[in-house]
Structure formats: structure tokens, C-alpha cells
A and B are shown apart, each in its own frame.
Chain A
Amino acid sequence: MPAELLNTVDIDSTLQKEPPQEILRYALSQFDNIALSFSGAEDVVLLDMAMQIRPNIEVFCLDTGRLHSETYRFIEKVREHYNINIDVLYPDGSAVRQLVKEKGLYSFYQDNHQECCSIRKIAPLKSKLLELDAWVTGQRKDQSPGTRGTIPVIQDDRLFARANETLTKFNPLANWTSRQVWDYIRAYNVPYNELHDRGFQSIGCEPCTRPTGPNQHEREGRWWWEEATQKECGLHASNVKKA
């Protein structure tokens, strides 16, 4: 079905009530050219669910060059466990070289993480998404109430769509809590990143991730040296009158 025929807002209101497996089933029934983004963390549950529906689903992963060795080992373990290919994406070598030459290996502690992330994550992701009609992420509302409190389970991804075409993004775990994710991992013996056993709730690049203590939100383990940025570009929808 051509993605442009999907009214993502209406479908979202229906799918919001569905469990992740049903959202995934819907996504895979609508798109052949779809891939699942795997971060090497607890979003492995999504991969496990997808394997039950389409065992040959395309999976990709971003290797920023700065991941923990435990995460590399975990990605390999997942590849073997599910007997799948994982398309590991890399940043452009000359862009990384330029950044490091100009600003060193830890520029993000001085400026912020945006430039480094744009080179190591966004650019390779952007290239990959140009190949796809739809993608699936493991993001959840409870991971970051500040930036993800309202994520839909299906959305029109205008940021990364090819020119004059559409890209659909599915977030099947949007309404699941960390507790539900971990209940699933334990119930189905899903392999997980060993860093979780060492206090890492959220796992990203090694220099930008740290374990969190009791009563700390998982986001406090990521880019902890940065102030919460002002999200000036948001439009305050509450100001918009209902039709």
C-alpha cells in the first residue's frame, strides 16, 4: 500500500490502544520496504517480537565508533541468537576525521553533543532512511517525559523522507514502561546488554552514558553535563482552537 494513502493521525488513535506486537504486525502488513532500528539496548524486545512475525525483517544499527565494548558484544550476540543479518551503519570517515582534528575526541564535553551526534548518528541514519519506506524504533514515552511524552505509535516522518515522498515511522513500544519491557525480557529469556546489570538503565555511547542510582531517571545517565535545552521551535498546540 502506498504510504501516502495512510492517514497516520487517524491510525495512531486506533493503534495507541494496541499492544506492541499488534502495532508491529500492522506495520509489517503495510510495508515491505521497512527496517527496524536496533540500538544495542533493551529495544531488543522489539526485535524479538518482530522475529515472531517476519523472521527476515531488515535490522540496522548505528555504530558511532564510541559504543561500549559490551554493546558490540551484545550486537554480535543478538546476530547469532536470532540468526539474522544486522546492517551496521558507520559515520562518514572524513567527517569524523575533520571533527576530531578540529575539536578533539571529546568535543561534546566542551560544546554539547549535537555536532558529534549529527556526524556519528544523524548523517548515517539519514542516508539509511533514504532507502526505506518505513522504519521502526524502540522509543518509549517513559524514557524521556520531556522530549517523548507525546510520541505517537505511527507518524509521518517528514525529517528523513525522500524528496516528494513519504516515510512512515512506527514506535510500537511508545506506551510500554521500562517495567513491561523488562518483564518481557525475563519472561521470554531475551538476551540483553550486560551493562544493564551494572546500573546502566539507558545505553548510548561510552563517553556520554553513565550508570544511574536509585530514584534517578534513566535520562540522567545521558549527557548529564548539559543543561536541559529550551525547545523553542515547538508550537504550543494547546493554543490552537479545536475545529
Chain B
Amino acid sequence: MKITLVKKILADGSPCKKCGDVLQKLEESGHMSRIDEVLVADERDPDSAGLQVAKDLNVHRAPFFVVEKEGQAPEVHTVYLKFVKDVLEQNTSASDEALEIMKDNPDLDFI
């Protein structure tokens, strides 16, 4: 299994806040060692590796994780806590996960 994290640099060159939060949580929990590669989706550079992966996998947000297993299509995870639970098999709180989903997905206001 190969895990790739794609983080974003905004068009003004500043780092994306959520990406920073996720990286910090990965470091603090010791999960960073499970991440095989970190790619940058640089909004100033359409050729940046992260933006190309986002395009190939039809992902419209960052950060996100790509999990590749031999012989299987790559899996994309855009919810950090869901990734932690489903891929890293660590316990997460259902309400924290719901709040993360709500905060990161303003389009869910249709519900």
C-alpha cells in the first residue's frame, strides 16, 4: 500500500491552513511515518504534481490522500478523520468526523 498526501499552496503563495492542521495532526499522532509521499498542489503552477494528481483523480479540494493498493484503483480520501479511521485503522469520534465534514463542505448546506 502506498499513501500519498496532497497539500495545497494558495494562489498568493501562502500555505493552506487546513493542510497545515492536517500535517500537524499527522506529526503529533505519529502517523506521518505512514505517509509515503507528500505532493504539492500549487495553484500558481498548473504543472505541479499535486494539481496533476487532483486532475487525474477528479478531486476538487485539498488536502487529500491517495491510497494505492496493488491491482486496485486508487482510493481518494478528502476527510482526514475518515482517512484515519478507514485506512490507518485508528479510532476517531463520529461527532468530530461529522464536524470536519460540515466545516469543509459548504455545499452540504442543501441538507
Contact = CB atoms under 8 A, between A and B. Distances in A.
Contacts of B45: 239
Interface residues of B, number: 47
A159 B105 contact: yes
Nearest to B78: A158
A117 interface: yes
Contacts of B82: 159
B60 A123 contact: no
Interface residues of A, number: 45
Nearest to A151: B107
Given A121-B111, A122-B102, A240 B8 contact: no
B35 interface: no
Interface of B: 8, 10-11, 16-18, 41, 43-47, 51-52, 54-55, 58-62, 73, 75-79, 82, 85-87, 94-95, 97-99, 101-111
Interface in A202-243: 222-223, 229, 231-237, 239-241, 243
Contact of B16 (A9, A118, A232): A232
Contacts of A151: 107
A222 B109 contact: yes
A121 B101 CA distance: 11
Contact of B18 (A147, A232, A236, A243): A232
A29 interface: no
25 contacts: A4-B73, A39-B110, A117-B102, A117-B108, A119-B98, A121-B102, A122-B101, A122-B111, A123-B98, A144-B110, A151-B107, A158-B78, A159-B79, A159-B82, A222-B109, A232-B10, A232-B17, A233-B18, A233-B61, A233-B62, A235-B60, A236-B43, A239-B11, A239-B46, A241-B46
